[in-house]
Amino acid sequence: MIINHNMSAINAHKALKFNVWETDKSMEKLSSGMRINTAGDDPSGLAVSEKMRTQIQGLRQAERNTEDG
């Protein structure tokens, strides 16, 4: 029994799958309009932005409290 294989086709398919995956990742970044989509994009930047987000939420709540009180 002879087993035939086409390594060039297998390698081309592997490269195509990788390119499709990279294209999907790029399209996700472009379509979101955000600089940081996941923690893998910029871990330290994500930490800073989350800290700022919680500070802003606290300030907004303090503003609502002063308006109500």
- Of residues 5 and 7, more confidence is placed in 7
* Amino acid (1-letter code) at residue 32: S
**Residue 59 Cα distances to 50, 62, 66, 67, 69, angstroms:** 14, 5, 11, 12, 15
pLDDT in tens, 13-24: 999 999 999 999
- Given this model, what pLDDT does residue 63 score? 95
pLDDT in tens, 24-65: 988 988 888 888 877 888 889 889 999 999 999 999 999 999
This model's pTM is above 0.75? no
Structure tokens at 18: 């990788």
DSSP assignment letter at 41: T
Instruction: Report the C-alpha dihedral over residues 50, 54, 59, 64, rounded to 10 degrees.
Output: 130
CB 46 within 8 A of CB 39: yes
- Given this model, what pLDDT does residue 22 score? 95
* Domain spans in the chain, listed from the N-terminal domain onward: 7-30+41-68
